[in-house]
Amino acid sequence: MIRREIETGLEGFRLWPGALSPDEQAALRDEVMEAVEAAPFYRPTTRSGRPFSVEMSNLGPLGWVSDRGGYRYQPVHPATGAPWPPMPERLLELWSELTGWPEPPDACLVNLYREGARMGLHQDLDEADRAAPVLSVSLGDTAVFRIGAAEGGPTRSMRLASGDVCALTGPARLARHGIDRLLAGSSNLIPGGGRLNLTLRRAA
């Protein structure tokens, strides 16, 4: 499948709308949902103890976690103590195809957004190599995504629909970004409704 990239107006922020066909979306959903049976979704907290509105899990050698001890990557699920399940091969292929980065991702954060969930503006700062790209895959309900330059200033919003893929690279690697809200019911891909966001990174 040819994946068409469009101009975003923010240098280094790359976007491939409809990068995954409906069949590819369904196949990836099934692989991810099967994988997280061994690493169940949980609701992490911030350093202050406030729970996130999204549920989280991880795939790959390392997983991003948050609690009163802070933000970090670790090799095991914080509730079960078991290693994170491996990433689906199709995610590794997508990373290689779209980013061209010579090393594979070693972490895939799986965020489950149900109706009403959101993610405030933030930067991805917990990775050892901040030059490596961050690749994000959207499955399910359309999200209203907000992004702005790392140094501050105005932000812009756009919609990320099921099958869209975007990447933070180069000057946009440390861009501020977040999810304002979901357009509930815009997709029936995710059982029970909502959105899966798969974020691939080089953590170590």
pTM passes above 0.85:
yes
pLDDT value at residue 172: 97
Closest alpha carbon to 174 in 144, 152, 196, 197: 152
Question: Which residues on neighbouring strands pair with residue 74, listed in sequence order?
Answer: 63
**How do residues 139-179 score in pLDDT, each as one tens digit?**
999 999 999 999 999 999 999 999 999 999 999 999 999 99
How far is the C-alpha of 123 from the C-alpha of 176, rounded, in Å?
5
How far is the C-alpha of 107 from the C-alpha of 128, rounded, in Å?
12
Residue whose token pair is 């095991």: 76
How far is the C-alpha of 67 from the C-alpha of 41, rounded, in Å?
15
User: What φ, ψ does residue 22 adopt, rounded to 5°?
Assistant: -55, -40
How far is the C-alpha of 187 from the C-alpha of 163, rounded, in Å?
11
Interstrand relation of 195-201 and 70-74 (parallel, antiparallel or unpaired): unpaired
How far is the C-alpha of 118 from the C-alpha of 177, rounded, in Å?
11
Q: Which residues contact 23 (CB under 8 A, 6 or more apart)?
A: none
pLDDT value at residue 2: 75
User: What φ, ψ does residue 35 adopt, rounded to 5°?
Assistant: -65, -45
**How do residues 23-65 score in pLDDT, each as one tens digit?**
999 999 999 999 999 999 999 999 999 999 999 999 999 999 9
Instruction: Give me the domains of the chain, ranges plus CATH numbers.
Output: 13-201 (2.60.120.590)
